[in-house]
Chains A and B, each alone.
Chain A
Amino acid sequence: MSILENIEKILLTEIAVGLADKKIDPEADLLEQGIIDSLGLMKLIDFLEKTFSIKISDEEIVPENFQCLNSMVNLVQQHL
């Protein structure tokens, strides 16, 4: 599974169940649409760290890195 597919699966099955479309547009703004809220964000960071065995620093937890699927893929790639 690609990084993108992996993150999409986390969003669809753990973070935003029933909130996002069944296929998430990689450029769709998930923050603006309220699909990721503050609690969802914390859970998502946890999942990303565990799934990809990475450590996301507090300074990286900014809207630019979590706006859409593609920005999350970029963030994860920087750590791999």
Chain B
Amino acid sequence: MGYLLHQLVSESAARYPEKEAIAFQDETMTYAELERESNKLSHSLLRIGVVRGERVGIHLHRSISSIVGALGILKAGATYVPIDPLCPPHRLGYIVNKCGTRVLITSHEKLPNIEQGFSAGSPLKTIVVMNGLDAAPGSFVSTEIIDWKKLRETAREDAPHVNAIDADLAYILFTSGSTGNPKGVMLSHLNSLTFVNSAHDFFQITAADRFSNICPLHFDMSVFDLFVAFKAGATVVVIPEVSAKFPVKLAESIETNKITVWNSVPSALSLLATYKNLHHHDLSSLRLILFAGEMFPLKYLRRLQEIIPRSRYCNMYGQTEANSSTSYWVDHLPPEARGSLPIGRPLPNFDVFALDESGREVTEPGREGELYVRSLTVAAGYWGEPEKTENAFVGNPLRPDLNEKVYRTGDLVHLDAEGNYVFVGRKDHMIKSRGYRIEIGEIETVLCDHPKVKNAVVIPVPDELIGNRIVAVVELSESGMIDNEDILRYCASKLPRYMMPEAVRFCESLPVTSSGKVDRNKLSDLKEASFSA
């Protein structure tokens, strides 16, 4: 049995060399080819000078190349750092600098974005362009740009020998941070494999399964799609980013690719359920539909269950810091069901508990507590953020004698009569939108950085389809010389698309507390007025 994430591919390549590992639009790649291509990339990275433990960036749209990229990095003993392909240059530059990334894998369309995010003193030395270069490789400042198509011609096909161990970091996933910059969750091979093995067995995945992959590489749900499938020797059908916006295309993807295992945020499934002619498609190949990241509105779930009655449905719960931790089967939604689904019980090999304000474990319905996760899946912390790490990864309050770390989720839960955990809310100002977690403070920091903004507050407006819509309320430092477009353009230069406010409201003066901070308790009046347009 392998102890490193990429060994899952090597093992399946030995067992099922000719089986389809990945399908993307008109392209497919067998397990033997995936093994060979990723080996070649890892040799090339080693030749470039990548060393064990180094953080190599991936700035690519969802494709076969992005998967080969991740595997090639792992096989070189390095850590992959996926960076949203649509992220603004400023954010890209921040992540590259933060991780000390010397090598970045990308496509030629992304070069202008990278150049814009490049600042003096950037650690970036080499850019590997996966889809080839139209012109001769150029460079900017001291960065070398390499054409992978040329490099691969002479690269070795066998697996490189790198002395990696399961405690080494496999990937770092950047997620919203409350103080204005994203924070990188560090996950080791062991963290990830512990989850992958548990999920593989729990959902009885086989080589005959065909997975959808609609979650981007920088989103932790992609780990399930890719590595659980690779462990089983199953096929991953990569759904193009553009198709994911169109219900008709989603239905066609499921039908023509005979997808058996679907995994996405509920909003993608809600979108599918809004398609009126869904019953014209044969979606009976689906046997397992997993959703995670936010609440699934029951009316859409109900509609899907009417159209795809034979599939099983499972509500998954977990945070990037601990991988998916609990699950709740919801195969037959009772007609009288209202409100939200429970997040359920721990998956195998997970210990999950909730502590109330006095530190007492919640063991019966009626009391509320903060959820903690104890498992080998729990991350090593946040990259380069010792203080944030210390606050979230704490000694086990129930067993101080074990001298171990558990993850403190910040999620408040209670137990229902059946012993399932039910999500109640957050201890802080984190919200979910389209399944992404967003620290309101990060958006507010960007707004307040605008030279003409005196103070700003972000109000989440609950939305059935996407969880929350984001409304910014801004107090200007000088009388109204700027409009909402000016503010939003500034946000777009700093924030990823999913964190962009949908609307900006102006306010003469925001209520503040005695310490000068915005008084959230007095914002309820604004809330009413703020989203009428």
Q: Chain A residues in contact with chain B, CB under 8 A? A: 12-13, 17-19, 31-34, 36-39, 41-42, 58-59, 61-63
B470-489: which have CB < 8 Å to A?
Answer: 484-489
Bound Cα distance A66, B241 (Å) = 14
Given contacts A18-B491, A34-B241, A58-B247, 11 further A-B contacts (CB under 8 A): A12-B485, A13-B485, A18-B488, A31-B242, A32-B242, A34-B497, A38-B267, A41-B245, A41-B246, A62-B246, A62-B249
Known: A38-B267, A58-B248, A58-B275. A17 touches B485 (CB 8 A): yes
CB 8 Å contact bits of B232-262 with A (1 = contact, 0 = none)? 0000000001111111110000000000000
Contact of B492 with A by CB under 8 A: yes
* 9 residue pairs A–B, Cβ–Cβ below 8 Å: A13-B485, A18-B486, A18-B487, A33-B86, A37-B245, A39-B466, A41-B246, A59-B248, A61-B246
CA distance A42 to B275 in the complex (A): 12
Q: Which bucket holds chain B's interface residue count?
A: 20 to 34
The docked-state distance in angstroms from the alpha carbon of A19 to that of B275 is: 27
* CB neighbours of A59 from chain B (8 A): 248, 277
Tell me whether B347 is interfacial, beta carbon within 8 Å: no
Residues in B neighbouring A31, C-beta threshold 8 A = 242, 245
Is B276 interfacial (CB 8 A cutoff)? Answer: yes
- Residues of A within 8 Å of B247, CB to CB, are 58, 61
Q: Do B489 and A18 have beta carbons less than 8 Å apart?
A: yes
Minimal beta-carbon separation of B334 from chain A (angstroms): 29
Contact A63 B242 (CB under 8 A): yes
Pair B465/A39 contact, Cβ less than 8 Å: yes
* Chain B hits for A17, CB < 8 A: 484-485, 488
Q: Once the chains bind, are B277 and A37 in contact (CB under 8 Å)?
A: no
Which residue of the partner chain, among B245, B268, B487, B488, contacts A19 with CB atoms under 8 Å?
B488
CB distance from A73 to the nearest CB of B (A): 19
Question: Roughly how many angstroms separate A14 CA and B267 CA in the complex, as a whole number?
Answer: 21
Nearest Cβ distance between residue A66 and chain B, in whole angstroms?
Answer: 8
How many angstroms between the C-alpha atoms of A69 and B277 in the bound complex? 27
Within 8 Å CB of A63, what residues of B? 242-243, 245-246, 249
Which residues on the B side are within 8 Å of A41 (C-beta)?
245-246
B271: interface (CB < 8 Å): yes
> Which residues of chain A have C-beta atoms less than 8 A from B485's C-beta?
12-13, 17-18
For the complex, give the distance between the alpha carbons of A23 and B491 in Å: 19
Write the nearest CB–CB distance from A4 to chain B, whole angstroms.
20
B523 at the interface (CB under 8 A from A): no
B222 → A minimal CB distance (Å): 18
Assembly CA distance A36 to B492 (angstroms)? 13
Distance from B318 Cβ to chain A, minimum over Cβ atoms (Å): 23
The reply to whether the CB of B500 lies closer than 8 angstroms to some CB of chain A is yes
A39 CA to B490 CA, complexed, in Å: 21
Q: Give B533 Cβ to nearest chain A Cβ, in Å.
A: 10
| A37 to B: closest C-beta gap in Å | 6
Q: How far is the CA of A42 from the CA of B248 in the complex (A)?
A: 13
Q: Are B488 and A58 in contact (CB under 8 A)?
A: no
Taken together as a complex, chains A and B put the C-alpha atoms of A42 and B241 apart, in Å, by 16
Q: How far is the CA of A26 from the CA of B323 in the complex (A)?
A: 43
CB-CB nearest in chain A for B493: A18
In the assembled complex, the CB of B275 is this many whole angstroms from the nearest CB of chain A, namely: 6
B531 to chain A, nearest CB (A): 14
Cβ-defined contact, A18 with B492, below 8 A: yes
**CA gap between A18 and B491 in the complex, in Å:** 8
Question: Which single residue of chain B is at the shortest CB-CB distance from A12?
Answer: B485
Chain B residue contacts of A42, Cβ below 8 A: 465
Would you give the 0/1 interface string for B274-312, flagging 1 where the beta carbon is closer than 8 Å to chain A?
011100000000000000000000000000000000000
Tell me the nearest residue of chain A to B488, going by C-beta: A18
Q: Considering the chains assembled together, what is the distance between the CA atoms of A62 and B275 in angstroms?
A: 12
- Interchain nearest-CB distance for A50 vs B (Å): 15
The interface bits of chain B over 420-445 (1 if a CB of A lies within 8 angstroms of the residue's CB, else 0) are: 00000000000000100000000000
Min distance, Cβ A38 to any Cβ of chain B, angstroms: 4
CA distance in complex: A36, B500 (Å): 13
